[in-house]
Structure 1
Amino acid sequence: MIIDQQEFNVKGLTYSIRSAMEKDAEGLSSLRVQIDGETEYMDREQGEGYIDPARFEKIIRLDSEKERNLFLVTIVKGKIVGYSRCEGVDLKRFSHKVEFGVCVAKEFWGYGIGKKLLELSIDWADTNGIEKMNLNVVGTNDKAMELYRRMGFEIEGTLKKDRRHADGRYYDTVMMGRFRAEGRSWLANIR
């Protein structure tokens, strides 16, 4: 699905958020590798699970066509600095929900980019009849979990010692979900 570009200015930083386009594929491929190397909060270490530009083009094309998928990018001065994705599945038993994920370059943390990507995704989900959004977060990422709680997500479970990082230590994965309020957008409840 595609949404129109929106402009934001937070703490003196102007950025726009819009649906990903095939021309974004190269920038997304590079940014994904960069972000994986900037934080331990991602599922991959830097360079793992590499997605080349051609594969990103395919993902973007499919997400643009599917009603239950949304791929957003954040642009600062013509450069992609963050992205989020909601992905649904075609199986009827799971057609009521989507999986949400978000990435923002470390240089741009603190400008509300992740929160804005989440807000737009929630609004899109509520508008399009999606009943549930799921996400996974590293158990040590307290700041992200607090944001998700404020946005209506609740902890549904914890996978103990689910991941082992480069430091050799194990970390939990926290599974969170949020249900759409009947007849209302969740955003109306939190603003």
Structure 2
Amino acid sequence: MKINETEYHVNGMRYRIRSAVNKDAEALSKIRLQIDGETENLDREKGEAFIDPLGFEQMVTSDTDNKNHLFLVAEVQDRLVGFSRCEGNPLNRLSHKVEFGVGVLKDYWGYRIGKNLLKESIHWAASNDIKKMTLNVLETNENAIKLYEKMGFEIEGLLKKDKRLSDGKYYNTIIMGRFNE
């Protein structure tokens, strides 16, 4: 689906959040690769599960056409700096929920881009009869956990020793959910 574009001004930076379009595919492929190399908070290491521009075009088209999918981008001066997706399920018993994921370039942390992508996604979900949003977050990502809790998400479970990071240690993944009444 699509949302109306929204502009934000945070800490001296102006950016907009809008629905992804096919012309974003090349930039999405590049920034996803960069984001994967900037943090261990995500599932992938840089270069793993690479999605080329054609793959992103197909994803954007599918998400735009699907009523329980949403693909958003954050843009600063015509440059994509982040994105989020809500991916639903076509099965009747699961069609009431979506899984949320987000990524923002490290140079743009601190401008509430991730928070506003989430806020727009929550608003979209509530407006489109999506009853539940879920997400997974690494236990060490304390800032994200606090944000998710502030935005109404609750811890629903724990995947023990779910990820092995560069230090060779295993870390838990926290499963969180938010239910819209």
Give the TM interval when normalised to the shorter protein. Answer: over 0.9
**Is 1:129 matched up with 2:99?**
no
2:156 is matched with 156
Q: List gaps (5 residues or longer) in structure 1.
A: 182-191
Counterparts of 1:89 and 1:157, CA distance in 2 = 20
The residue number in structure 1 matching 2:84 is: 84
Query: What is the alpha-carbon distance in structure 1 between the residues aligned to residue 5 and residue 123 of structure 2?
Result: 14
- CA distance in 2 between counterparts of 1:144 and 1:118 reads 11
Alpha-carbon shift at residue 166 of structure 1 (Å): 2.3
SS at match of 1:47: coil
Q: Deviations over 1:120-174 (max 9, x none)?
A: 0000000000010000000110100000000000000011100112221111000
Identity among equivalent positions (%) equals 57
Residue identity in the other structure for 1:125: A
Kindly provide the amino acid, as one letter, of the partner of residue 55 in structure 2. Answer: R
For residue 179 of structure 2, what is the aligned residue in structure 1? 179
- AA in 2 matched with 1:151: M
Residue of structure 2 in register with 1:184 after alignment: none
Give the match's secondary structure for 2:45.
coil
State the alpha-carbon separation in 2 of the partners of residues 31 and 168 from structure 1: 26
**Rounded Cα–Cα distance in structure 2 between residues aligned with 1:14 and 1:138:** 29
> Which amino acid letter does the alignment assign opposite residue 84 of structure 1?
S
CA shift for structure 1 position 4: 1.7
2:141 equivalent in structure 1: 141
Distance 2:166 2:27 in 1: 26
Task: State yes or no: 1:74 paired with 2:77.
Answer: no
Trace 1:105-120 onto structure 2 (pairs within 5 A).
105-120=105-120
In structure 2, distance between residues paired with 1:123 and 1:132 = 12
Scaled by the length of structure 2, the TM-score of the pair is 0.99
Amino acid at match of 1:78: D
Q: Distance in 2 between matches of 1:5 and 1:129?
A: 20
Amino acid in structure 2 at the alignment position of 1:25: A
- 1:4-63 CA distances to partner (integer Å, 9 max, x unpaired)? 211111011000100000000000000001000000101000000000000000000000
What amino acid maps onto 1:63 in structure 2?
Answer: D
* Alpha-carbon distance between aligned partners in 2 of 1:123 and 1:77, rounded to the nearest angstrom: 25
Q: Provide the C-alpha distance between the structure 2 equivalents of 1:40 and 1:27, rounded to a whole number of angstroms.
A: 21
Quote the Cα distance in structure 2 between the aligned partners of 1:130 and 1:2. Answer: 14
RMSD across aligned positions (CA): 0.6
Distance 1:33 1:175 in 2: 24
Quick one: distance in 2 between partners of 1:165 and 1:25? 29
Aligned residues: 181
* Large movers: runs of 4+ above 3 Å: none
Q: What is the SS of the residue equivalent to 1:61? A: helix
Aligned partner of residue 90 in structure 2, secondary structure: coil
Q: Which amino acid aligns with 1:159?
A: L
TM-score by length of 1: 0.94
Structure 2 segments unaligned to the other structure (5+ residues): none
In structure 2, C-alpha distance between the alignment counterparts of 1:143 and 1:22, rounded to whole Å = 32
